[in-house]
Chain A
Amino acid sequence: MQRAGEVIEASTTDFMAQCYELYQSPPFGSLVKTRDLPVELYGVVYNATTTGLEPGRRPIARGKDEASEEDIYRSSPQLLKLLRTEFSVLVVGYRENEKLYHYLPPNPARIHGFVYLCSPEEVREFSQSFDFLNILINTHLTVSTEEIVAACLRQMSQVYEDGHAFLVAAGKELAILLSGEFNRLKAILGRIKT
């Protein structure tokens, strides 16, 4: 199981995790999980940021005399320790006693809980039901929900042999959820078509 980071901030609806390596955040829209035994929380990555370690100190441009971007990091190796990559995850379900639930868990994630990327089997199992789409399209985030939904479905479709059929089924579910909002539906469909 690939570890992607560690929880550093958590609430009922989402949590933030920091990557161990700079720029190693899981892809936008991918399914991740964290443990708070006996509960496993599942979430979709909806945002990733790389900032300075200290909130007051902004990075400055350093490459004026360097030949390439890699040279900047080579000549200032401390940079890797002064910067950090974080990613935000929207909680979309949980597993308790081997059973999957596609709604919010009773408790938020634990700080310092490890965050793992879900294996293809887990993704397949989780995406058997499209109930989680309802959470995704009803959140208000900095990133547009159409983007998140589309990215999430694209990611999930990769674990299926027949990704097209999966996307059609998901599209139909969305068409029902967004029955009165054809423009949003169109935006999502435009982003997931194969």
Chain B
Amino acid sequence: MTQGNTERLGIVVSGSLNKGVEVKLDSSASVEDMAVGRYVTIEGQKRRFFGMITDVSLEVTDQKLVLIPPDVSDPFVAEVLAGTSTYGTLHVLPMLTIGGDVTSLIEGPQPVKTVPSHFSAVNLASQPDVELVFGSEDERKFYIGTPLDMETKVCLNLEELVKRSNGIFGKSGTGKTFLTRLLLIGMLQKGTAVNLVFDMHSEYGWEGRNEEGRKVKALKQLFPSKVAVFTLDEESSRRRRVSTDFVVRIGYDEIEPEDIGLLRQTLNLTEASVQAVYQLAREFGDKKWIEATLGLEDEDETRQLLTRLSIHDSTYRNLRRGLETIRRLPFLESHVPDNPVKRILEYLDRGINVVLEFGRYTDITAYILVANLLTRRIHAQYRERMEKAIGEDIAPPRQLVITIEEAHKFLNPEVASQTIFGTIAREMRKYYVTLLVIDQRPSGIDSEVMSQIGTKITCLLDNDHDIDSVLAGVSGKSELKSVLARLESRQQALIFGHAVPMPVVVRTREYGSTESYKDFISGEETEIRKQAEKDIEELWE
């Protein structure tokens, strides 16, 4: 079973399934060549185990060595002691087994349920091993990066990925945007889902910038036929020379009381003000309440109304101040002829991905208001269609992935139960709508929502609360913690969850060079060619 070309590291000396196994390094393997996050295979007697190095430590056979260190300036003594009296150990977390029998070969790697026996040989995982585990690129699998110190591709099963909500986390400046762009490209390339991206900083639609300030192409430039750019801020788009497909305007009549509830924190509203909104909405009607409230001027009448609705004067003033903030948003108009939700759905139905740029309106009030408002309606539509699809036995709507940034503002414990995003995250795939959540403070996200996130892709995090919340409920949490805290601050990410068979640290695929663009697009071309070939074949049948 052993493969000749693999590099032997040592042997298993102790361990448990829960805590992982200890591996004593051979004297030929240097502790300094090891790296947390690397893959190893363990040759058990009956099966092979696939695991990850989660810790490296130094040991001595005799404690005297620690108390009175030998003179290692003598190369002979150093050479003799290395690997014998002084040795390194690896802590390896076995993740998968690759069985020796036929059935397990067909089924592929399975999660571990036991540990390898004593003194099993441990090797560095070879390229074929990693390929066996993470698969190779195909119609469903998207190449996202390479494992540390390896050339093998790590592929995400996008079809599985989009069935659940996913999260991309990491400190600011660790590459969340690049990863997101990469993932969106993957979804576009493989056509597994249509995307609606709420693009707060206008960096996914036409072009973005990398750390050095160089321009990089974004979705529309790479897939012009598959992406539509919507904008809230026409002027900003024009200045950036982005051709937009639609300018989104939102009418006051589309703002519902729930939307105000969500904005409570950002608008600094009191609980009573939010209650007052519902009362006013009941009074004036769901569509007109905001205009009517803002139009209240006549003092006597207003006072009468407020007394009737038993709304305290201070509450009213608090609410009024909040609504004025909303009114100042330029994309809000009293009446809008075109319905943005309808337009977005039209595009999505045609399989065209929509990126909504916010232009200058990067403040969180605008973002929350618009994202929530549009998503709620789109979700409602999807729900309707899905129910119809079940009832009439027709094809369900296309899988939709909604990308939101600053997710903790939508999904924090206080509002997660009220926002549509909380609902989507919990309902998961029933209605074919899932989320791609991007955030730098995952600890701010409701734990219930967090637990429903299928695949988590996380760049470097160094706040303990953030790390804990990302890793909550994952087996081998403490081991992954050390891996996560030691990621490099750029281009490295830990991926775990539904779409990968085991947690994996990847160096993300190159993005931004001409070759990289070619790679992304070539996938699409071959797909078109494949489809054409298929059509031709069918024609001749």
Contacts and interface: CB of A to CB of B under 8 A. Distances in A.
Interface stretch (B77-85, B325-333, B461-469): B77-85
Contacts of B85: 175, 179, 182, 185
A181 B76 CA distance: 18
Contact of A182 (B65, B74, B76, B79): B65
Contacts of B27: 172
Interface in A48-62: none
B62 A179 contact: yes
Interface in B463-486: none
A29 interface: no
A180 B62 contact: yes
Contact of A171 (B62, B64, B65, B80): B80
Contacts of B70: 182, 186
A193 interface: yes
B76 A194 contact: yes
Nearest to A193: B76
Contact of B80 (A175, A180, A181, A183): A175
A180 B83 contact: no
B61 A171 contact: no
Contacts of A189: 76-77, 80
Contacts of A136: none
Interface in B56-89: 61-62, 64-65, 70, 74, 76-77, 79-81, 83-85
Contacts of A164: 76
A168 B84 contact: no
A115 interface: no
A194 B65 CA distance: 22
A192 to B, nearest CB: 8
Interface of B: 27, 61-62, 64-65, 70, 74, 76-77, 79-81, 83-85
Given A171-B84, A180-B61, A181-B62, 12 more contacts: A171-B80, A172-B27, A172-B84, A174-B80, A179-B62, A179-B84, A182-B70, A185-B85, A186-B70, A189-B77, A193-B77, A194-B76
23 contacts: A164-B76, A168-B80, A171-B80, A171-B84, A172-B27, A172-B80, A172-B83, A174-B80, A175-B61, A175-B80, A175-B81, A175-B84, A176-B84, A179-B62, A179-B85, A180-B61, A180-B62, A182-B65, A182-B70, A182-B85, A186-B70, A189-B76, A193-B77
